[in-house]
Structures are given as C-alpha cells and as structure tokens.
Amino acid sequence: MRTALKLVLAIGTVVVLVIGGFTAYIAWSFANASISTVGEVEFARPLAIPPLAKSTVDAAGVRTFDLAMQAGATDLGRGEPTPTWGFNGAFLGPTLRATRGEQVKVNITNGIDETSTVHWHGMHLPAGMDGGPHQPIAPGANWSPQWTIDQPAASLWYHPHPHGETAKHVYRGLAGMFILDDANEVALPKTYGVDDFPIMVQDKAFDGSKLDDRAGLFQSTGILGDTVLVNGTPGPFLDVTSERVRLRVVNGSNARVYRFHFDDNRPYAVVASDGGLLPAPVETNELLLSPGERAEIVVDVRPGERTVLQSTPPTGDSNRFTGASDRLDILELRGAQTLTASPVVPATLAPAPDLADDTVGATRNVSLGGSNTNFGKMDLERVDIVSTLDTTETWNVTNADGQVHNFHIHDVQFQVIRYAGGPPPAVLAGWKDTILIPQGETVELRMRFTDFADASSPYMFHCHLLRHEDQGLMGQFVVARPGEKVGAIDVPDHDGDDHAAAEVSTGHAH
C-alpha cells in the first residue's frame, strides 16, 4: 500500500509540475506576445544606404552585375557582431538598377555552405530565369540568368527561394532591392541616396548576439522580432536635406505586417505599389504592408524638425501572436536647417492597369489555409495551373482560415478587381504582385500572361509569410502556348537533377 501511495503521490507531483510549467509557459507567452518599442528606440545610427551595384555593359548592350552570396558578421547593435549572410558583403545586398528595354545578366556565386537560389521578386521574365526552387545554386556553384527588362519603372527586390528554406535564408540577411526605370518622366524625388531612398524593413529577434529564428509556440506565421532594422541598421536616423523625400519601402520581414504611419500622424503621398507608380498619388497617414509588398511614399519634411516612422497595430486583427498588437519605432527623419527645393507631387503618375474590361480566358480559385493551398501542399513535381500565353485570367484568392496570409505570384503583375467584397482601395489601384488577404475574405485579381511560355518550367504562387511558404502554402503554374501539353518538370535536388514527369493537378480541392 505504501509503495502504491508513493507512486500516486509521485505521479501527482509530476502532473502538477507539468501543468504548472505549461501554464507558466502560456502565461509567459502571452506576456511576451505584445511588443511596444515606441519611445524606446534611440535612433543613434545613420541609416545605411545600400550601394548601387556596379555593372558593365558589353558591346551587345547586356548590362552585367555580379552578386556573391557570402557569410560574415555584422554589427547589429548587440555588443558583438552577429553572424549573418549577405550579397557582396556580410548583410543584405547592393541595389541593382536597370532601365526598361535593357538586357541584364547577373552572375551569382554561392559562397555560403547551403544550396540557395536568387529570385527576382516582381520581375516579368522567363520561368527558367526566375530563381525559384527550380533553379538551385549549390555551394560553390554559379548561376547567370539573363533577361530583358520589359515592365514599368518599379521598386522590386531579390531574395533566395530555396525549397523549404526561404525563411532561414532571408532571415540571415540575403535580400536586396532591384529598381527599374523607364521613359515615363515623372516629377518625383529621384536622386538615389539624396532624396530617394531604399527602405528595407525587417524585424529581428536575437538570442544574445545571434539571430534567433525560432518562432514561439503560438507564432503560427513565423518569427516576429522586437528589433526593427532598416537596410540592416538598428535604431536608424536619416538626415533629410530636401523638402520632400521618396522612401521606397520594402517589407522584407519574414512574417510581420506593418501599418506605417508617423508619430505626429502627418499625411504623406503613396505614389507607387509593387509593380510601379499608381495612377494618382494617394494621400494618407497610414499604410498596411505585408511581407514582400512594396510602396513608394513621398514625405514632406520641414527644416529642423524630427519625425518618427512607426508601425501601429493593423486594425481589425487582434491576434497578439501575429504581431497585430505591436507598436514599433522604425526610423527617425531629421530635417536639416535648410532644405533644397523638391518638386510638388504630380496629380497623375502613370497609366492605370487596364485589364478590367479584358476577355477572361480562365477563372481560377485558389484558397489558402493552414499550410497548403486547395491543390495540396507544395510539390515540385506537380503543376497546379496551366495558363495560356497571351490570355487574361481571373484568380479568386481566398484566405480560408483564421490566419494571416498574403498572396504573391511570380512573373506577372496583377490588377485588383475586388478586395474583400468591395472595390479596391486607392492604394491598390496600381499593379501589384503581393497582396494581403484579410481572414475569411477573397480578392479578385486579374493578370495577363505574356512573352514567355515554357510548359516544363513552372513559376510559383504562394503566401509570402515565409514560414507558411516553407511549410507548403505554395503552388506552381506554367504558361503554355495554346494547346501545348505540360512537359516533364525538371525537379532539382541537392545532389543533382532528377527528372520526373509532371503531374497536372485537376485544380479541385483535395
């Protein structure tokens, strides 16, 4: 009897300890779930401006860049250097810049010890040059994609896209901007690093001086950090020397949705979205950007003043584990005593997207839920959608569960026809390649597949919350010529190339 009693007591103690520990962990998780850094960031470091990447132009007119992926260590304000990855440096990468009509080539070398890729987010280009999971670059190997720039001026970006490992590679620091120019002369601030700035916003969590990419138990969207880096600078300030500055804001974060506004609530002009200039500037004092999205904003600054770019909780979502209740100080703008004159933002900027009245060749339904789409989990061998060259399609994309999801598609820029049951807000009136979808809502997108058909080389569509993407919330589509059959998809692996016959999914929910 005594032994039995002891056993019961022992089991009881263990149960109490486990339950207590678990309760304590949950309580701790809740207590730590909301972050506020407002008023706590020192803004002691000048904002780093990524250099413009050098390039050479050969006799045939091809502009060639070199990008070397490498490991290094970076001062991220942790007392000692943080191990990081970067392009042509220890963290992040240079800004590539090219003009519509130019042929570009990028010589990439992989100097890190993992297979990676480099994807040109927002770029219209052949699938084989896209840098998705089908174009892996092994450690020590090179890859030299080449294509012709043929899309409006825009703020694009580049980042790795290795199968299942994108979150880690981006988090370690592999990302940079790719700015496109065109012949549309618009009176906006346009001198790089003077009145026109790249603003790559990324939140990081640290474990001592190391980047901590372990998401907490309830952080279903992935890692959220309490340190916001802009172009890799913690606590950055920017000395403004002109009456207006153009900020090309990239949400380069793994999981965080920002609602950008200034501490004094000043209005600013949103002049561009992912795919280029908006038809007209939109005056606002707040702007939502989810991971992968970009916006260009023009901000008025008065002599001698200071104002802080912040993120406040996005309205309509109170889930503290997705960062929706966080308040963050991001970047301080400091007006010089005398400011050079800047142009007034023009009332019209660029032609509006024109797909609303197009004949629609096919309508696709894509739903995002948990860690897969309605086609199933991402499968490198399965083609989910076969689109036809030179046709316009409607994609109805639904956020089917209670999580935060957005939607990104490669190769094309889309026009938003309907957003969550209504007409799109003015900031979504231009070309987009990534869009936040509120929980339970559907967005109606229209896009046209042009120029590049390759029935055996897929493009991706996916949620750009990188943990979801890695878990399988991604699908593949090919662009085929009319009547063309989908070819065998060349499926890479880390040891070499496997050739597998493509399986074309029926497109019905599994």
Residues of this chain that interact with Cu ion (CB under 5 A) are 405, 463, 465, 468
Between residues 385 and 460, which has the closer beta carbon with respect to ligand C2O? Answer: 460
Draw the binding track, 394-433, toward ligand C2O (x: CB under 6 A; -: no contact).
--------------x-x-----------------------
Q: What is the CA radius of gyration of the chain?
A: 23
CA-CA-CA-CA torsion sign (365, 368, 373, 379) = positive
Residue 172 interacting entry, from ligand C2O, Cu ion, none, C-beta within 5 to 8 Å by type? none
Q: How far is CA 184 from CA 98, 153, 177, 295, in A?
A: 14, 8, 20, 18
Amino acid 138 reads: A
The strand pair at 382-383 and 233-234 is best described as unpaired
Pick from 133, 143, 61: nearest CA to 103: 61
Q: Which two tokens stand for residue 53?
A: 């990447």
Provide long-range contacts, Cβ within 8 A and 24+ apart, for 373-377. Answer: 373/473, 373/474, 373/475, 374/400, 374/508, 374/509, 374/510, 375/475, 375/505, 375/507, 375/510, 376/472, 376/505, 376/510, 377/471, 377/472
Draw the binding track, 108-127, toward ligand C2O (x: CB under 6 A; -: no contact).
-----------x-x------
Secondary structure letter of residue 313 according to DSSP: P
Between residues 250 and 463, which has the closer beta carbon with respect to Cu ion? Answer: 463
Burial of 181 (0-12, 13-18, 19+ CB in 10 A): middle
Amino acid 17 reads: L
Told to check if 462 binds ligand C2O by CB under 6 A, we report: yes
Residue 119 interacting entry, from Cu ion, ligand C2O, none, C-beta within 5 to 8 Å by type? ligand C2O
Minimal distance in Å, beta carbon 454 to ligand C2O? Answer: 17
Between residues 310 and 406, which has the closer beta carbon with respect to Cu ion? Answer: 406
Told to check if 169 binds ligand C2O by CB under 6 A, we report: no
Please work out the total of residues on this chain that contact ligand C2O, with binding judged by CB under 6 A. Answer: 10
Q: State how far the Cα of 256 lies from the Cα of 376, in Å rounded to an integer.
A: 25
Told to check if 168 binds ligand C2O by CB under 6 A, we report: no
Residue 121 interacting entry, from Cu ion, ligand C2O, none, C-beta within 5 to 8 Å by type? ligand C2O
Between residues 243 and 469, which has the closer beta carbon with respect to ligand C2O? Answer: 469
Helix, strand and coil content of the chain, in percent to the nearest 5, comes to 10, 45, 45
Minimal distance in Å, beta carbon 403 to ligand C2O? Answer: 18
Write out the binding residues for ligand C2O, residues 241-300 only, by CB under 6 A: 292
Find the part of the chain contacting ligand C2O (CB under 6 A) among 316-324, 332-340, 392-400, 457-465: 457-465
Give every CB contact of residue 210 below 8 A, 6+ residues apart in sequence: 82, 83
Find the part of the chain contacting ligand C2O (CB under 6 A) among 59-67, 179-187, 338-346, 459-467: 459-467
Q: Which two tokens stand for residue 388?
A: 């036809």
Between residues 89 and 160, which has the closer beta carbon with respect to ligand C2O? Answer: 160
Minimal distance in Å, beta carbon 466 to ligand C2O? Answer: 9
Told to check if 446 binds ligand C2O by CB under 6 A, we report: no
Pick from 160, 143, 153: nearest CA to 123: 153
Find the part of the chain contacting ligand C2O (CB under 6 A) among 27-35, 181-189, 385-393, 456-464: 456-464
Told to check if 222 binds ligand C2O by CB under 6 A, we report: no
The DSSP annotation for 40-104 comes to T----EEPP-PPBPPEEE-TT-EEEEEEEEEEEEE--SSSSPEEEEEESSSSB-PBEEEETT-EE
Minimal distance in Å, beta carbon 15 to ligand C2O? Answer: 46
The SS3 assignment for 18 reads helix
Between residues 119 and 248, which has the closer beta carbon with respect to ligand C2O? Answer: 119
**Residue from the set 63, 124, 134, 161 that interacts with ligand C2O by CB under 6 A:** 161
Between residues 67 and 245, which has the closer beta carbon with respect to ligand C2O? Answer: 67
Between residues 94 and 458, which has the closer beta carbon with respect to ligand C2O? Answer: 458
Between residues 211 and 463, which has the closer beta carbon with respect to Cu ion? Answer: 463
Minimal distance in Å, beta carbon 255 to ligand C2O? Answer: 13
Give every CB contact of residue 443 below 8 A, 6+ residues apart in sequence: 396, 397, 407, 416, 418, 419, 420, 435, 437
Minimal distance in Å, beta carbon 464 to ligand C2O? Answer: 6
Write out the binding residues for ligand C2O, residues 299-358 only, by CB under 6 A: none
Cβ atoms < 10 Å from Cβ of 283:
12
Instruction: Please say whether the beta carbons of 463 and 473 come within 8 A.
Output: yes
Q: State how far the Cα of 213 lies from the Cα of 205, in Å rounded to an integer.
A: 7
Minimal distance in Å, beta carbon 133 to ligand C2O? Answer: 9
Between residues 300 and 384, which has the closer beta carbon with respect to ligand C2O? Answer: 384
Nearest-CB residue for ligand C2O: 121
The SS3 assignment for 22 reads helix
The strand pair at 62-74 and 206-207 is best described as unpaired
Between residues 335 and 458, which has the closer beta carbon with respect to ligand C2O? Answer: 458
Which spans of this chain sit near ligand C2O (rule: CB under 6 A)? 119, 121, 159, 161, 292, 408, 410, 460, 462, 464
